[in-house]
Structure 1
């Protein structure tokens, strides 16, 4: 991480929330001449991102953040995505991230996920309203990370409304355990293909195949980072058909072959944030 900015990632203090929220992160810079450009990669997790005194604009391939003193908060939702995107952030910026487990955000909604979130990304994501802004002010008003986490934990505990649809929970768990076709997943769940597809669209805005591919991709990154696998072993461990299939999948997801991708990524914080930083 460049000394001109700071990035800290930390899990919720509440064990009960860790089932739904993978981690929070706090990323800030006060250097007015500083600009960061980076590639962020496909993930099976979704997130709420908050900027203080900034505004964001989106294009088909990425986003640009610039300072804006007129905006107290810019709140963005980013869902599961299958393609890499380019981000640009211009300092000063002060950013909070709430990174959810795959079905995590569903446990804080009072209506079905697909009724609330019909696209991604979404700026001005104001679903949680005034109470969320009160919590954000508490986060921004302290430099103590434990106090920041406590404020976010308190808000999400109050909003907790556990997802009652156990079939999608089982389906997601199955896809983390093994690589399944939709037919195999349907048989395990004892549901029709149509019902399985509907469950994934309703609660995740993706298909089972798209979700499974994201799990394989992120598992491959995790295994490689441990430093004990070559590409052939990675392909085998993650149930790719062969090494050629593995390379093809990585190029489609990242724009790079695996060798170039792994040589260029930077690991931010202590959780699973991997970016490729670009030269300005």
Structure 2
């Protein structure tokens, strides 16, 4: 399994967290993989064989070859049908909203084909160019030129949204929103509206996801650490609260997480992110 990330162009680094690739050799017995929320939005291009996303225990759809997956608020399951080869762009929580006019909240918990978000002919041409590109670097240049052509005004990044997310990230999701806004209720309502427009989920929900990601990294990087210590370090009220949030976003409990074959892909990504 080969997973690598690449830094974006300086003109995009306020919006794009990274570009990434994932390659996995064909495995006829590939298990379903559980993908859990990370607070980011992904633009993905499937270059290998088809990938299934399960909509129920037994039913699935085939993911589009080029798509945007919006904010994830619950775990979902994918399963490759053969060779995995994916190229993608990971946007900061507020990043992708600056490239489309459609409400970002409409993209949550599902994949949206690029032809539904951009001019159909340009989306088709972009997909063709990415698929036919000879290298990852070429794909990065192609997608960055496309994004730069769609983004013309850096001032549209709302400062209060950006600063709130920066604070949440720096405190690993542990700053109460009212504290960030100095208990100004009028600012809270305004922030909620702006988050809905630019991020697609509420600031409180994003804070919960960021805190969960910090806990996941603690578990992955120190497998001997006790769960009570992980809960304490990440400012959960108690272990029961930690387990409740963990199951909400991952669908499993912390003890089972490390030995769950369905978490292999997520564990690889989150341990290196």
TM-score bucket of the superposed structures, by smaller chain: 0.7 to 0.9
Using the TM superposition, give the Cα deviation of residue 94 of structure 1 relative to its aligned residue in structure 2, in angstroms: 4.6
Give the TM-score normalised by structure 1. Answer: 0.77
Using the TM superposition, give the Cα deviation of residue 29 of structure 1 relative to its aligned residue in structure 2, in angstroms: 6.4
1:171 to 164, 167, 184: 164
CA distance in 2, matches of 1:180, 1:36: 37
Alignment match, 1:196: 191
Using the TM superposition, give the Cα deviation of residue 240 of structure 1 relative to its aligned residue in structure 2, in angstroms: 0.6
Alignment match, 1:89: 80
Using the TM superposition, give the Cα deviation of residue 221 of structure 1 relative to its aligned residue in structure 2, in angstroms: 1.5
Alignment match, 1:249: 245
Q: Deviations over 1:212-245 (max 9, x none)?
A: 1001001111233332843222212211112222
CA distance in 2, matches of 1:155, 1:272: 27
2:211 to 204, 213, 216: 216
- SS of corresponding position for 1:260: helix
Using the TM superposition, give the Cα deviation of residue 61 of structure 1 relative to its aligned residue in structure 2, in angstroms: 6.8
Using the TM superposition, give the Cα deviation of residue 121 of structure 1 relative to its aligned residue in structure 2, in angstroms: 0.9
Using the TM superposition, give the Cα deviation of residue 34 of structure 1 relative to its aligned residue in structure 2, in angstroms: 6.3
- SS of corresponding position for 1:169: helix
Runs of 4+ aligned residues of structure 1 deviating over 6 Å after TM superposition are none
Aligned-residue Cα RMSD (Å) equals 3.4
Q: Deviations over 1:219-272 (max 9, x none)?
A: 111233332843222212211112222122212222222121133332579753
Unaligned runs of 5+ in 1: 2-6, 68-72, 275-280
Q: Deviations over 1:133-178 (max 9, x none)?
A: 3333233223422222222222222223433321211222222233
Alignment match, 2:18: 23
CA distance in 2, matches of 1:131, 1:145: 20
CA distance in 2, matches of 1:213, 1:8: 26
Preserved CA contact (<8 Å) 2:42 2:68: yes
Q: Deviations over 1:40-96 (max 9, x none)?
A: 1122111122335858666257984559xxxxx633322222211111221356533
Using the TM superposition, give the Cα deviation of residue 99 of structure 1 relative to its aligned residue in structure 2, in angstroms: 1.7
CA distance in 2, matches of 1:63, 1:11: 34
1:125 to 114, 119, 143: 114
CA distance in 2, matches of 1:96, 1:202: 26
CA distance in 2, matches of 1:87, 1:184: 38
CA distance in 1, matches of 2:11, 2:144: 10
Preserved CA contact (<8 Å) 2:97 2:197: no
Preserved CA contact (<8 Å) 1:34 1:90: no
Alignment match, 1:98: 89
Q: 2:186 matched to 1:186?
A: no
Residues 250, 197 of structure 1: CA spacing in aligned structure 2 closer, same or farther, 3 A cutoff? same
Alignment match, 2:270: 272
Aligned residues: 262
Unaligned runs of 5+ in 2: none
CA distance in 1, matches of 2:85, 2:77: 19
Alignment match, 2:9: 14
* Larger helix fraction of residues: 2
CA distance in 2, matches of 1:157, 1:146: 16
Q: 2:42 matched to 1:51?
A: no
- SS of corresponding position for 1:266: helix
